[in-house]
Structure 1
Amino acid sequence: MSVVKIITESSRPGKRRRILNGILPYVRSNRCSELLILVPSNRMVEEIREALLQQESVPGFLGLRLMTFLDLARDIFQNGSFPGRIGSTPARQWRLHSILSTLPPLKPFGEIRETRGMLSLTTDFIRTLKEAGIPPEEFEASPPVRDNPHLRALGEIYRKYEKYRTAQGILDREDLLRLAAEGIRKAPSRSFTSLREIIVTGFYDFTPLQAGFLSALSTLSDLKELSIFLDAPLSSPVTVRSLKRLQHFLPGAEIRSSQRKEETPAKALHHLQQCLSTPAVKPEPVPGDESIELLEVPGRYREVEEMARRIRELHKKHGLSFHDMAVVFRNLSDYREKVREIFRSFGIPHQLTSGLPLRNNPLIRTVTALLECPRSGYRRDAVFRLLASSYLRFEPLERSTITPERIDTLAREAMIQGGRDEWKMRLKSRLDLLTTREQYLQESYGTDRDEKGHKERIDRCRSKIKDYRKCMDVLESFFDLFADLPSEATIPEFIEQLEHLRNTFHLKEQIYERDDLDLVHRDQTAFREWQELLEQLSREQMGLQRVSLADFVRLLSLTLAEKNYSPDPPQEDAVLVTDALGIRGLSRPAVLIGGLVEGIFPRNHSPSPLFSESDRQRLNKHFGPNRWIPLRSQQREEEDLFFRFAVGAAEHFLILSRPRTDGEGHPLLPSSYLDILGALFSQRIKVTCRYLNDPLPSEDPLTNEKPLYRPGELLEYTFRALSRPVTEEPDFPSLLKLLLRERWETCRSLCHGLTVQQARKEVNGSYLGHLGPDAARGIRQGEGNYSVTALERYAACPFQYFCERELKLRPVEEVEEEVGALDLGSLYHRILERFFREMEGPVTKSALAAARKRLDRIEKEELARVEKGGIPGHRKIWEIRQTEIRDVLDRFLLDEIEAFESTGEIPSHFEVTFGMKDVSRRDPLSSPDPLILPSESGEIRMEGKIDRIDLKDGEPPHFSILDYKTGGSKPPGPSGIEKGETLQLPVYAAWALGAFADGRELGHASFVLLRKGSRKCLINPAGQGRQEWKEISERYVRNYVEEIRHGRFPPGEKNCPPYCRYGEICRKGEKGRP
Structure 2
Amino acid sequence: MPSAIERRIVFGDFRPDLEDALASAVAAHRHERGPLAPAVLLVGSNLLGLYLTRLLARRLGAVGGLRVMTFLDLARTLARAEIDREGLRAIPVAGERLLARVLAKALPDTSYFASIARTEGFEEAILATLRDVRDAGLTPGDLRRCFPKGHRKARDLADVHERYEEKLKSARLIDRPGLMARALAVLERDAAGTSTLQDGQPFAGMTRLFVYGFYDFTWLQENLLLRLARILPTAIFFPYRETPAFEFAKNARARLLDAGFGSAPPEPPAAAAPMPSVAGAGVTLERLQRNLFLPLAHAGEDAPEGVEPAPLDSSLRIIAAPGEAREVLEAVRTVAEMTRRGVPLEEIGVLYRGADPYARLIASQLAPLEIRSFSLEGRTLRQTRAARALFSLLEIRERDHERAAVIDFLAVADLDPGVLRAASEPAGDRPPASPPNPADWDLLSRMAGIVSGREAWDERLDRLARALTFRAAEASAAEDPEVGPPPDPRLIEECHRLRRLYARLAKALDGLPREAAWSEMSDAVAGLARRFLAPAEERESILEAAENLAALDAITPRTTLAEFRRLLDAELETRGPGEGHFQRGHLLVGDVQTARGLGFRALVVVGLTEQSFPPPIRQDPVLLDTERHTLNRAAGDGHRLPIKAERLKEERLLFALAAGSARDALVLTYSRLDPQTARERLPSSYLLRTMEALLNRSCDYERLEAHVERIRISDLFPADRGLSVRDREFDLSVVAEGIRGRDAARALFPAQNRDRPPFFSRGILFEQRRWGDRHLTPVDGLLRAPSARALLSHRHGLAGVAVSPTRLGQYMACPYQYFCERILGLEPLEAPEQIERLSAQDRGILVHRVLHGFFAGLHDAGLSPLRRPARQALQERLRAIVDRRFAEADALGLTGLPLLRDIERLRIGEDLGRYLDREIEAAEAEGTDGFRPAHFEVRFGMPPPPAPATADLPDDPLSTGQPVSLAFDDRALLFKGQIDRIDLTADGARARVIDYKSGRLDDYPDNSHRAGTALQAPVYVLAAGHLLPGTRVEQALYQSVSLRGGFRSKRLDRRAWEAMLDDLRVVGRLVEDGIASGAFFLYPEKTMCQRCRVRPVCGEAREARFGRKRTDPVAAPFLDFKSRSEEE
Structure 1 residue 382: Cα displacement: 1.4
In the other structure, the counterpart of 1:206 is 217
Determine whether 1:701 maps to 2:728: no
Structure 1 gap segments, 5+ residues each: 512-523, 703-707, 769-798, 805-810, 813-817, 832-857, 896-909, 912-917, 919-965, 968-1046
Structure 1 residue 640: Cα displacement: 0.8
Output the amino acid matched with 1:647: A
Once residues 1097 and 266 of structure 2 are traced to their aligned partners in structure 1, the CA distance between those partners, rounded to angstroms, is: 84
Contact 1:485 1:497 in 2 (8 A): yes
1:678 corresponds, among 691, 697, 700, to 691
Structure 1 residue 501: Cα displacement: 1.3
Output the amino acid matched with 2:572: L
Output the TM-score relative to the length of structure 2. 0.62
In the other structure, the counterpart of 2:424 is 398
Output the amino acid matched with 2:722: P
Task: State how 1:719-734 maps to structure 2 within 5 Å.
Answer: 726=740
In the other structure, the counterpart of 1:846 is none
Contact 2:94 2:567 in 1 (8 A): no
Structure 1 residue 758: Cα displacement: 3.5
In the other structure, the counterpart of 1:689 is 710
In the other structure, the counterpart of 2:570 is 558
Structure 2 gap segments, 5+ residues each: 195-200, 304-308, 427-431, 696-702, 782-808, 815-820, 823-836, 851-870, 905-909, 912-917, 919-997, 1000-1082, 1113-1128
3-state SS of paired residue (1:54): helix
Output the amino acid matched with 1:371: L
In the other structure, the counterpart of 2:175 is 172
Structure 1 residue 331: Cα displacement: 2.0
Query: Rg: which structure is higher?
Result: 2
In the other structure, the counterpart of 1:26 is 29
Determine whether 1:45 maps to 2:49: yes
Once residues 631 and 620 of structure 1 are traced to their aligned partners in structure 2, the CA distance between those partners, rounded to angstroms, is: 10
Task: State how 1:660-679 maps to structure 2 within 5 Å.
Answer: 660-664=672-676, 666=678, 667-679=680-692
Structure 1 residue 557: Cα displacement: 1.1
Once residues 820 and 894 of structure 1 are traced to their aligned partners in structure 2, the CA distance between those partners, rounded to angstroms, is: 14
Once residues 633 and 751 of structure 1 are traced to their aligned partners in structure 2, the CA distance between those partners, rounded to angstroms, is: 60
In the other structure, the counterpart of 2:1053 is none
Structure 1 residue 547: Cα displacement: 0.4
The worse-fitting range, judged by mean Cα deviation, of 462-471 and 109-118 is 462-471
Count of residues paired in the alignment: 813
Determine whether 1:1057 maps to 2:1081: no
Once residues 53 and 819 of structure 1 are traced to their aligned partners in structure 2, the CA distance between those partners, rounded to angstroms, is: 76
Output the amino acid matched with 2:249: T
Once residues 232 and 270 of structure 1 are traced to their aligned partners in structure 2, the CA distance between those partners, rounded to angstroms, is: 15
Deviations 1:314-352 (A, max 9, x none): 2222x2222222211112353223323322332333221
Deviations 1:522-573 (A, max 9, x none): xx3x335324423433356436711011100111112212222322356612
Once residues 164 and 719 of structure 2 are traced to their aligned partners in structure 1, the CA distance between those partners, rounded to angstroms, is: 65
Determine whether 1:313 maps to 2:337: yes
In the other structure, the counterpart of 2:454 is 420
In the other structure, the counterpart of 2:729 is 713
Output the amino acid matched with 1:133: G
The worse-fitting range, judged by mean Cα deviation, of 690-699 and 303-312 is 690-699
Structure 1 residue 109: Cα displacement: 5.8
In the other structure, the counterpart of 1:217 is 228
3-state SS of paired residue (2:216): coil
Determine whether 1:159 maps to 2:182: no
In the other structure, the counterpart of 2:650 is 638
Once residues 757 and 399 of structure 2 are traced to their aligned partners in structure 1, the CA distance between those partners, rounded to angstroms, is: 49
Structure 1 residue 663: Cα displacement: 4.2
Output the amino acid matched with 1:374: R
In the other structure, the counterpart of 2:613 is 601
Once residues 172 and 180 of structure 2 are traced to their aligned partners in structure 1, the CA distance between those partners, rounded to angstroms, is: 16
Deviations 1:945-984 (A, max 9, x none): xxxxxxxxxxxxxxxxxxxxx99xxxxxxxxxxxxxxxxx
Determine whether 1:241 maps to 2:245: no
Structure 1 residue 195: Cα displacement: 5.8
Structure 1 residue 820: Cα displacement: 8.1
Task: State how 1:686-835 maps to structure 2 within 5 Å.
Answer: 687-694=708-715, 696=717, 701=722, 708-717=724-733, 726=740, 736=749, 740=753, 742-743=755-756, 745=758, 748-755=761-768, 758-759=771-772, 821=840, 824=843
Contact 1:11 1:649 in 2 (8 A): yes
Output the amino acid matched with 2:290: Q
Contact 1:486 1:549 in 2 (8 A): yes
3-state SS of paired residue (1:644): helix
Contact 1:696 1:714 in 2 (8 A): yes
3-state SS of paired residue (1:143): coil
3-state SS of paired residue (1:296): strand
Determine whether 1:648 maps to 2:669: no
Structure 1 residue 584: Cα displacement: 1.7
1:648 to 1:741, Cα distance in 2 relative to 1, 3 A: farther
3-state SS of paired residue (1:203): coil
Task: State how 1:345-494 maps to structure 2 within 5 Å.
Answer: 345-393=368-416, 394-395=419-420, 396-399=422-425, 404-405=438-439, 408-409=442-443, 411-412=445-446, 416-420=450-454, 423=457, 452=480, 474-494=501-521
Deviations 1:856-890 (A, max 9, x none): xx99997843778xx89xx8787325997987564
Once residues 761 and 289 of structure 1 are traced to their aligned partners in structure 2, the CA distance between those partners, rounded to angstroms, is: 57
Contact 1:140 1:152 in 2 (8 A): yes
Deviations 1:907-930 (A, max 9, x none): xxx99xxxxxx9xxxxxxxxxxxx
Structure 1 residue 1071: Cα displacement: 9.1
3-state SS of paired residue (1:554): helix
Contact 1:299 1:661 in 2 (8 A): yes
Structure 1 residue 722: Cα displacement: 6.6
Once residues 246 and 877 of structure 1 are traced to their aligned partners in structure 2, the CA distance between those partners, rounded to angstroms, is: 86
Structure 1 residue 453: Cα displacement: 7.7
The RMSD of aligned alpha carbons is 5.4
Structure 1 residue 182: Cα displacement: 2.2
In the other structure, the counterpart of 2:1006 is none
Contact 2:751 2:758 in 1 (8 A): no
3-state SS of paired residue (1:120): helix
1:332 to 1:368, Cα distance in 2 relative to 1, 3 A: same
2:585 corresponds, among 533, 554, 573, to 573
Once residues 406 and 138 of structure 1 are traced to their aligned partners in structure 2, the CA distance between those partners, rounded to angstroms, is: 65
Contact 1:495 1:534 in 2 (8 A): yes
In the other structure, the counterpart of 2:889 is 880
Once residues 425 and 100 of structure 2 are traced to their aligned partners in structure 1, the CA distance between those partners, rounded to angstroms, is: 43
Determine whether 1:301 maps to 2:325: yes
Deviations 1:761-810 (A, max 9, x none): 9999xx99xxxxxxxxxxxxxxxxxxxxxxxxxxxxxx99x979xxxxxx
3-state SS of paired residue (1:559): helix
Output the TM-score relative to the length of structure 1. 0.64
Contact 1:598 1:669 in 2 (8 A): yes
Structure 1 residue 138: Cα displacement: 3.1
In the other structure, the counterpart of 2:357 is 334
Output the amino acid matched with 1:320: V
1:501 corresponds, among 522, 528, 533, to 528
Structure 1 residue 63: Cα displacement: 1.6
The percentage of counterpart residues that share the same residue type is 22
Contact 1:33 1:65 in 2 (8 A): no
Once residues 561 and 872 of structure 2 are traced to their aligned partners in structure 1, the CA distance between those partners, rounded to angstroms, is: 45
Once residues 775 and 1085 of structure 2 are traced to their aligned partners in structure 1, the CA distance between those partners, rounded to angstroms, is: 17
Deviations 1:64-91 (A, max 9, x none): 2332222122111235677453505435
Structure 1 residue 50: Cα displacement: 0.9
Structure 1 residue 272: Cα displacement: 0.8
Output the amino acid matched with 2:22: I
3-state SS of paired residue (1:749): helix
Once residues 567 and 353 of structure 1 are traced to their aligned partners in structure 2, the CA distance between those partners, rounded to angstroms, is: 10
Contact 1:233 1:278 in 2 (8 A): no
Structure 1 residue 652: Cα displacement: 1.4
Structure 1 residue 497: Cα displacement: 1.0
1:186 corresponds, among 189, 206, 210, to 189
Once residues 269 and 472 of structure 1 are traced to their aligned partners in structure 2, the CA distance between those partners, rounded to angstroms, is: 65
1:742 to 1:178, Cα distance in 2 relative to 1, 3 A: same
Structure 1 residue 674: Cα displacement: 1.3
